[in-house]
Amino acid sequence: MLFTKMHGLGNDFVIVYGEETLPDRVAELAITVCDRHFGVGADGLVYILPSVRADFMMRIINSDGTEAEQCGNAIRCVAKYVVDNRHAVSDELTIETRGAGVQRVQLNQVNGKVESVRVDMGEPVLEGLKVPTTIDEKQIVAHPIEVDGRSFQFTAVSMGNPHCVIYVEDAASFDLAAWGPRLETHSLFPRKINVEFATVKSHSEVDMRVWERGAGPTLACGTGACATLVASVLNGLTDRQTTVSLAGGELWIEWDAADNHVYMTGAAEVVFEGRWA
């Protein structure tokens, strides 16, 4: 299996191109390949496959073997891979995802290489049962949640995958390992959930750290950054265009009032290429 190791702000992936479908026992393969001691090491194994609805299809298997519906950092890596390797020649692509449908991607190239990628992440889903949560409300904003005797307030958003955004005093020093897994598996979230801990710095800047469902703490989460902006607007904390600062770098996120779509702009990088024996 030929692969390319890539990352989006430190959220890293093993990218595979050229297969027609997912291989058998792909969950076991992902666990082995993503192991940081005995494998390549990554947050996920990503396949670029043919699509009848778009230019390409993206399938993402998390490091624990579960499949993710969508990943904002992975889709930027996929876009850069297909253009840099001349599998596509246009600066605009469509990429089919499992949970968020077909998404449109715009690429900024410098000297024949993709420098940044802008992704139309689609409309956020805010209805409680559709995120999904077990709460039947049109929007879940600053809703109380208790875990092991500690109380938080969360705002629920789906960007093709489920998120709960929680505001804390200092996201950079917050104990992800202590509270991330407890919230991920809380009974309010029937399919588990990605957890973002956010601190608003100004109306145009939010600091965020993430515990990703199926991967644990990662350096960045594109869909999580989008969910954080949406939640911040719903809570009256930021403008509709905001820089979201993550452990691995920054993403520019826009929630367009005209079409209700969320747009994400950021970089993607190649680390190395290899062969899995």
Pairing of strands 194-202, 205-212: antiparallel
The residue assigned the tokens 């929680």 is: 166
> Catalytic positions, please?
71, 221
- DSSP for the chain reads -EEEEEEETTEEEEEEES-SSPPTTHHHHHHHHH-TTTSS--SEEEEEE--SSSSEEEEEEETTSPEES--HHHHHHHHHHHHHTTS---SEEEEEETTTEEEEEEEEEETTEEEEEEEE--PPB--GGGTT-S---S---SEEEEETTEEEEEEEEESSSEEEEEE-S-GGGS-HHHHHHHHHT-TT-TT--EEEEEEEEETTEEEEEEEETTTEEES--HHHHHHHHHHHHHTT-S-SEEEEEETTEEEEEEE-TTT--EEEEE--EEEEEEE--
Residue 263: C-alpha distances to residues 26, 118, 123, 139 (Å): 31, 7, 9, 21
Q: Which two tokens stand for residue 242?
A: 């905001």
Distance of CA 104 to the CA centre of its chain: 15
